[in-house]
């Protein structure tokens, strides 16, 4: 077969299947494939158009089981396709070129022809409608027969076949023809809606360019982007999309990263910075070293994780599935009762009782009910991915909206993770702040530790010309020393100066005040005489206060857990207005989370970016990784913020609640419409074609309502500046 096959050691196989568009399709596939030998579990997703098979034993490639899988799917009316076919731009054909589209055109044409013939030749009676029904019913009966052979009689195709044939038997051929046509229209609309849901996430994969300009020495040549390997170099010109995940070797430019993280403001990138496939280079040419293969780049991983997440059913979806299994046979039993009881008990005509029973059968299909939850969850996951919010499954999406407490790491989560200069003070009347910064930067010019980087960056930002120091040397545990413009200078810690008795009481007090605020200090000294001091601190992210305020407006309590010293953690906590706990080891953070859970303060979310956050991320009900964090954090977490903003946490919670509201609306629509028409049909007020419209119409309504989530915008109360008001959600 042309579809993906497992490797000899694979116990799990994912296949692309064409034609699955609703919950009924999923149940048919799961039921049929679940009976095949060697298959332990089947999970079908109409949203992703895929079937995931878990084998009880590790099957050899191209075993008879694989042929049985393909044969079973073919009998059900579905076709296996390869990953290449699924990803091809021409894969989403216009509706009139699909099998369902052709069935609509044929049944619609036959229905119009039947009406015209009855008007022109009344003597023909019902026969034009009988012919129209028979032709349109052929593919429906084939689908019903295929499912019946797989021991699955409770399908919409079987109900339609019984209803249409029953209508012909009681001389209601015109109504039977209308029912067949409306059913075809409903199936087509379901297919179009499901296709749109699939394209919403697969469109991400199209962001990566198909070709790249490979650098070989001083020459460039165009190669397929999929062939790039780590270590190779590519040229990215202004206006080009970056073809790979990589690191800038030469050049500086602003990049539009909105395709990856939803961030509307371009980011300045320079040598040493990481870039992502699919982002757009705006200003200058860049030389980029490839760091990941195409199948492992950021976009590929996002698409893969979101598709896996969409295939994983949320608890509410699993409940709806179980409910539907009992609901459908119950309504079929009610239809049988309707066909038999009124004639025997109340003397109703058998034809009228059977007619009402057939109409009830058409309402029995729970397609709208079953699709109501996965459609909303798939749309929510896709909307999140397009805004840089990666959520690993419907269960996670459902749990996010229930969070009561969120524990956040400090460094790299609430703060930028890079120290910045906060204070420069001259202690000598012969020097100003600019001179102190210039001399200190000269001493740190060739150093790479975080404080040196912060001082050099601040000097560059101030536009200072930094001279080169000579005789530079590191003072272990104390600082650096050297000669700048002929002067013997050193930049050392206050503690070292205190030990040497070189600090006055007044200066000690000023230093202690800054250290109390969580700042690290370095003193510029010449011949044992302090000239000035420089304070650095890892400052909060620009949106940290907005993000925490947004969480508060959503009713979620935020707490900071940090491995940094308690004084620094308290200072940052006070600055942000958040409860702070410092000097915590990784196991301490996990223990705090467990304590909150045991005290009933959960569900608890944990946000972090490093390896030391992994235990707490795994312990919390929902672990959230910052996008700039380590691969360990990203893999351990249940969700990730690719845009690397604190406000993304509130967005995750808000998106979850919007999705849950959407699900409730969908379930109410599906059950409400069915309840109304079950009663009206039982009373003889509505007929068969109305019943079909009620079923397919409800399915289309809940799908379209779910698709509204694709336009989700963050708006929890007064939103941060980067968020826009929302109209989608419920």
| Integer Cα distance of 233 and 430 in angstroms | 50
In degrees, rounded to 5, the angle at the alpha carbon of residue 512 between the alpha carbons of residues 508 and 518 is 150
The alpha carbon of 234 is separated from its chain's Cα centroid by a whole number of angstroms, namely: 29
Q: Which 8-state DSSP code applies to residue 412?
A: I
| Beta-bridge partner residues of 536 | 421, 520
| Integer Cα distance of 650 and 643 in angstroms | 13
The alpha carbon of 624 is separated from its chain's Cα centroid by a whole number of angstroms, namely: 13
Instruction: Give the sign of the dihedral formed by CA 13, CA 14, CA 20, CA 21.
Output: positive
Q: Which 8-state DSSP code applies to residue 297?
A: S
Give the per-residue SS3 of 229-289: CCCCEEEECCCCECCCCEEEEECCEEEECHHHHCCCCCEEECCCCEECCCCEECCCCEEEE
Phi and psi of 108, rounded to 5°? -65, -45
Alpha helices in 646-717 (DSSP H): 647-682, 688-707
Contact between 38 and 59 under an 8 Å Cβ cutoff? The reply is yes
| Integer Cα distance of 207 and 259 in angstroms | 7
Catalytic residue at 609? no
Task: Using alpha carbons, select from 641, 671, 679, 659 the residue that is nearest to residue 729.
Answer: 659
Task: Using alpha carbons, select from 665, 673, 675 the residue that is nearest to residue 706.
Answer: 665
How many CB atoms neighbour CB 237 within 10 A?
Answer: 11
Helices and strands counted in the chain (H then E)? 24, 26
How far CA 102 is from CA of 98, 134, 197, 292, in Å, comes to 6, 16, 22, 44
| Beta-bridge partner residues of 474 | 480
End-to-end CA gap in the chain:
43
Q: Which 8-state DSSP code applies to residue 291?
A: -
| Integer Cα distance of 669 and 595 in angstroms | 41
Contact between 511 and 522 under an 8 Å Cβ cutoff? The reply is no
| Integer Cα distance of 176 and 135 in angstroms | 12
Phi and psi of 365, rounded to 5°? -65, 125
The alpha carbon of 47 is separated from its chain's Cα centroid by a whole number of angstroms, namely: 13
Q: Three-state SS for 33? A: helix
Contact between 4 and 15 under an 8 Å Cβ cutoff? The reply is yes
Q: Which 8-state DSSP code applies to residue 431?
A: -
Catalytic residue, from 245, 321, 409, 543: name it.
409
Contact between 309 and 393 under an 8 Å Cβ cutoff? The reply is yes
Instruction: Report the DSSP pairing between strands 529-537 and 557-561.
Output: unpaired
Phi and psi of 578, rounded to 5°? -130, 145
Phi and psi of 346, rounded to 5°? -110, 0
- Which tokens is 20 given? 């699955």
- Give the residue numbers annotated as catalytic, written as ranges: 409
């Amino acid at each position: 077969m042309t579809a993906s096959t497992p490797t000899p050691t694979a116990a799990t196989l994912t296949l692309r299947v064409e034609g699955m568009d609703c919950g009924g399709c999923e149940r048919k596939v799961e039921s049929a494939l679940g009976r095949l030998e060697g298959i332990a579990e089947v999970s079908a997703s109409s949203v992703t158009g895929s079937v995931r098979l878990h084998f009880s034993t590790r099957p050899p490639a191209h075993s008879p089981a694989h042929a049985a899988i393909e044969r079973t799917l073919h009998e059900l009316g579905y076709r296996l396709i390869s990953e290449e076919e699924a990803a091809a731009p021409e894969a989403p054909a216009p509706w009139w070129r699909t099998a369902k589209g052709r069935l609509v055109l044929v049944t619609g044409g036959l229905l119009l022809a039947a009406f015209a013939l009855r008007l022109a030749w009344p003597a023909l009676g019902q026969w034009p409608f009988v012919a129209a029904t028979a032709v349109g019913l052929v593919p429906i009966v084939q689908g019903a027969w295929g499912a019946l052979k797989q021991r699955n009689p409770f399908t919409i195709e079987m109900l339609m076949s019984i209803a249409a044939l029953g209508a012909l038997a009681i001389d209601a051929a015109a109504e039977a023809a209308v029912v067949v046509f409306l059913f075809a229209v409903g199936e087509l609309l379901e297919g179009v809606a499901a296709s749109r849901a699939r394209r919403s996430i697969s469109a991400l994969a199209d962001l990566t360019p198909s070709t790249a300009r490979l650098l070989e020495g001083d020459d460039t040549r165009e190669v397929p982007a999929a062939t790039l390997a780590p270590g190779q170099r590519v040229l990215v010109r202004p206006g080009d999309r970056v073809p790979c995940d990589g690191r800038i070797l030469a050049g500086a430019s602003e990049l539009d990263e909105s395709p990856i993280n939803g961030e509307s403001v371009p980011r300045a990138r320079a040598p040493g910075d990481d870039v992502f496939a699919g982002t757009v280079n705006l200003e200058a040419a860049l030389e980029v070293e490839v760091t990941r293969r195409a199948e492992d780049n950021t976009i590929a991983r996002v698409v893969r994780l979101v598709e896996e997440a969409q295939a994983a059913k949320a608890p509410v979806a699993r409940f709806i599935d179980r409910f539907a299994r009992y609901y459908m046979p119950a309504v079929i039993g009610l239809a049988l009762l309707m066909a038999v009881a009124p004639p025997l008990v109340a003397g109703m005509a058998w034809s009228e009782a059977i007619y009402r029973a057939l109409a009830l059968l058409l309402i029995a299909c729970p397609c709208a009910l079953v699709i109501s939850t996965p459609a909303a969850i798939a749309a929510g996951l896709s909307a999140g991915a397009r805004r840089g919010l990666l959520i690993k499954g419907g269960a996670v999406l459902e749990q996010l909206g229930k969070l009561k407490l969120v524990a956040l790491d400090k460094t790299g989560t609430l703060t930028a993770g890079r120290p910045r200069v906060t204070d420069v003070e001259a202690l000598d009347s012969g020097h100003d702040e600019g001179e102190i910064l210039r001399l200190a930067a000269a001493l740190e010019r060739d150093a790479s530790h975080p404080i040196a980087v912060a001082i050099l960056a601040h000097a560059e930002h101030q536009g200072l010309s930094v001279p080169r120091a000579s005789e530079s040397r590191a003072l272990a545990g104390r600082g650096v020393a050297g000669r700048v413009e002929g002067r013997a200078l050193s930049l050392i810690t206050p503690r070292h100066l205190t030990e040497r008795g070189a600090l006055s009481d007044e200066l000690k007090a000023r230093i202690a005040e800054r250290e109390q605020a969580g700042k690290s200090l370095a003193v510029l000294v010449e011949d044992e005489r302090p000239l000035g001091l420089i304070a650095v601190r890892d400052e909060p992210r620009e949106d940290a206060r907005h993000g925490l305020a947004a969480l508060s407006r959503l009713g979620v309590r935020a707490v900071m857990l940090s491995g940094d010293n308690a004084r620094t953690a308290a200072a940052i906590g006070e600055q942000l207005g958040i409860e702070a706990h410092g000097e915590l080891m990784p196991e301490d953070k996990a223990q705090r989370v467990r304590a909150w859970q045991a005290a009933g303060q959960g569900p608890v979310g944990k946000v972090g970016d490093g390896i030391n956050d992994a235990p707490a991320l795994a312990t919390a009900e929902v672990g959230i990784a910052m996008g700039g964090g380590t691969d360990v954090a990203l893999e351990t977490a249940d969700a990730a913020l690719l845009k690397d903003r604190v406000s993304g946490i509130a967005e995750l919670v808000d998106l979850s609640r919007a999705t849950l509201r959407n699900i409730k609306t969908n379930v109410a629509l599906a059950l409400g419409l069915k309840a109304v028409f079950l009663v009206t049909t039982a009373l003889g007020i509505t007929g068969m074609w109305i019943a079909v419209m009620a079923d397919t119409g409800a399915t289309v309504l809940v799908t379209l309502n779910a698709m509204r989530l694709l336009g989700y915008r963050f708006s929890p109360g007064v939103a941060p500046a980067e968020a826009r008001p929302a109209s989608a959600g419920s």
